[in-house]
A and B are shown apart, each in its own frame.
Chain A
Amino acid sequence: MTRTEIKDKLKEILLMTDADSRLLEGELDESKELIADYGFSSVGMLYTVIGIEEMFGIRFENVGMSDFKTLGDVVDYIEKALR
C-alpha cells in the first residue's frame, strides 16, 4: 500500500472522530500535530487506534496514540507495520 493510499484510508477514519474537520479537507498534512492541531480528545484517539487496527489489520503493540506527535508519525507506523 502506498503512503498516499494509507493517508486516504486514514482520512476515512479521522472523519469519524472529533478531529478538526477543516484539517480533513484535501490531502492530509503529515506535519500537523494530533493534539495541538487536530484537537483529538481521548475518545477521538480511541476511535483512531481502533479504526486503524480494523482498517489496516494491524495492532498497536506496546504503543498508544499518545506516543505519536504528528500525523506523519502515525503514517510511518502503519507503513512499517504493513511491511
Chain B
Amino acid sequence: MFAPSSDIFRKYTDGETFAKIRGYGTVAEMWKHCADEYGGRTAVEDNGSVYSYEQLDRDVAAFRGLLAGEGMIGILVENSYDFVKVFLAAATAGRPAVIMPPQLPAEAVLGITAGFGLKALAVSPALSAKTAPAAERIPGIKIVSSADSGEPVPAADVKPGAPCAVMFTGGTTGKSKAAILSNEAVMQGTVNGCYGYRDVFFQRYLLVLPFSHVFGLIRNLMTSLYTGSALFICRDNKNMFRDIAVFRPTVMVMVPALAEMALTLSRKFGRNMLGPDLKYIICGAAAVPPYLIGEYAKECISLFPGYGLTESANLVSGNPECATKPESVGIPYPGQELKLENGELWIRGKNIMTGYAGGIPSFTEDGWFRTGDLARFDEEGFLYITGRIKEIIVLPNGENVSPAEVEAHFSALDCVQDCELYEDTSDNGTRILVLEVLPRMTELGKIPEAERGAYLTGKINEVNATLPGYQRFSRLIIRDADFPRSPSMKILRHARAL
C-alpha cells in the first residue's frame, strides 16, 4: 500500500510557496480565506467584465440570500461568472449542488430534478427554457435565475463530510453515474492541484473546459481561486486563441486533443498560439502522448500529464515539473492510500467520493474504491496506467492483453497521433489482434507523399517486432479519418463481433 505525503512535492517549489499550500475542510472555509486574503485582486474575467475577489464575495453572499432552505439544488448554468457565483453560493450555504451539463435536454433536466429530489434549480437566462418541464411537473420546485441576487446572508456552518457537489461521470463504457463529492473531497482535489511545480500562486488561468467536468470545476476553477489567481472564462472555444492573445494566460488546463491542436496550429502559422506567458499545461482526461510533452518543452512550456477520476474529485496523481517520465501519470497526491489488487488500482482517502447516487455499490467492504484501471508503480513511486480491466483481451491461449499497454508503444511514435488495439476474427476464423492507427499528419507530412505509407507501416512494424509475441497485431489498419470519440475526446471503443 502506498500513502503519499505532501513532502514528496516539497522540492518542486520554494519553501515559502510550499508552506502556503494548506488544507481546508470545506469550500466555505477556503472561500473565506480567499475573500479575506486576495480582496482587490482579479478573480474572474468574463464576457468583457472583470470581477475582484471582493466583488465575487459580495455577489456570492447576495446569491446565498436566494438559497434559503435545505436540500440539494441543481445548477444549470453555462461557463460564466454567474456559474462561479452560484456554485460558491451553494457550497457556502451548505446546499449540495448537482452540476448539470448545459447541453442537457429539458427532459433530462426534469429527470435529474425528479430523480435527485432537488428542491431548487439555479438556471441562467439562456438555459431557462430547459427548466420549464420541471417547473410544470414538480410541485414546489423553486427556480432561481443565476442573474438574480437577494439580501446578503452569511455563509453556513458546513461540515467537511457534508456533500458539496454531485458530478456526472462520462466514461467511454457503461452508463453515466453521479458521484457525490464531499466538501473535504473537493478541497483535497483543489489543493492537490497546487503540488509539483514552481509558480503556484497568483497565476493567470484561461478556462476552456466545462465546469460540469471535474477537471474544469476543480483543477481549473477551484485551484485558480485557491491560489489567488485570475480566471479568464473562454465562452466559445473557437475564440480561444483570440482570448489567449488578450489575456496571456500562464496556466491552462486542457485535454490532449486541444493541446495537440494548439501545437499544430502554432507550427502551421509560425507563432506560439498559446501566448508568450504560458508556462504550464495541465493535461489529462485522456492518455497524453509523450510526443506532446517533448514538443511543448521545445517551446519552453511544461506539459504535465496527470491522472484523475470524477470519483476522486479529479486529481489522483500528476507529473511534477522537470518530469523525466513522460509515459507516467506522475506521483500520487497526498491525502489518499493507493494499492494494486491483481493489477487494478484501488484508492481510498479524503479525495474519494462518498458514493454514487442512487445506491449504486461504490466501495469494497473495507472502503476501497476500485478504479477499474490497471496500473503499476515504479521504484520512485511514479504511477503508470496500463489499461482498463473491462478492455482486457483474453486470447485463446489464456494470455491477457491490455490494449492501452500495447497502444502506448505505438503512440510513442511521432508519426502516430492515436491508435486502438482490438480483437477481431481473420478470414479463416482465427482470433487476431488488429491495430488501427490515426497518423499524425504534421509529422508524416514531412515525408514525401509517395513514401508516407511505407514509412508509417515500417515504423509501426518495427515497434510490433519488439513486443512479446502475444501482444503483436496481425492486421494493421491506417485510418483516413479520426476515431469516433466521446465528448472528452476519448476514443469510443467498439465491442467488435467475434
Contact = CB atoms under 8 A, between A and B. Distances in A.
Interface of A: 12, 15-16, 18-22, 38-39, 41-44, 46-47, 49-51, 54-55, 60, 64
B20 interface: no
Contacts of A64: 238
B269 A54 contact: yes
B265 A51 contact: yes
Secondary structure of the B side of the interface?
helix
A47 B238 contact: no
Interface in B450-498: 480-482, 485, 487, 489
7 contacts: A21-B480, A22-B480, A41-B482, A43-B257, A50-B240, A51-B268, A54-B268
Q: Which of A15, A16, A50, A54 has the most B CB atoms < 10 Å from its CB?
A: A50
A41 B485 contact: yes
A60 B238 CA distance: 9
B345 to A, nearest CB: 29
Q: Nearest 4 A-B pairs (CB), nearest first? A: A18-B482, A20-B481, A39-B481, A49-B238
Contact of A16 (B258, B265, B489): B265
B481 A46 contact: no
A41 to B, nearest CB: 5
A50 B265 contact: yes
Given A43-B489, A60-B238, A19 B441 contact: no
Interface of B: 237-238, 240-241, 257-258, 261, 264-265, 268-269, 438, 441-442, 445, 480-482, 485, 487, 489
Contact of A50 (B241, B441, B482, B487): B241
A41 B442 CA distance: 18
A44 B482 CA distance: 9
Nearest to A54: B269
B485 A50 contact: no
Contacts of B269: 54-55
Nearest to B442: A16
Given A15-B445, A60-B238, A46 B261 contact: yes
A14 B453 CA distance: 19
Contacts, number: 51
Nearest to A38: B481
A46 B438 CA distance: 19
A50 B266 CA distance: 11
Contacts of B438: 18
Contact of A21 (B240, B241, B265, B481): B481
A12 B268 CA distance: 9
A47 B441 CA distance: 14
B440 to A, nearest CB: 10
A50 B238 contact: yes
Nearest to A20: B481
A47 B261 contact: yes
Given A15-B445, A43-B258, A50-B238, 12 more contacts: A15-B441, A16-B268, A20-B481, A21-B441, A21-B481, A43-B257, A43-B261, A43-B482, A44-B482, A49-B238, A51-B265, A54-B269
A47 to B, nearest CB: 6
Contacts of A55: 269
Nearest to B262: A50
B441 A16 contact: yes
A46 B273 CA distance: 14
B237 A46 contact: yes
B480 A47 contact: no
B43 to A, nearest CB: 28
A20 B480 contact: yes
A3 to B, nearest CB: 22
Given A18-B482, A19-B481, A21-B480, A46 B264 contact: no
Contacts of B445: 15
A16 B480 contact: no
A19 to B, nearest CB: 7
B482 A39 contact: yes
Contacts of B241: 50, 54
A54 B480 contact: no
Contacts of B258: 43
Nearest to A18: B482
Nearest to B238: A49
B367 to A, nearest CB: 39
A42 to B, nearest CB: 8
Nearest to B441: A15
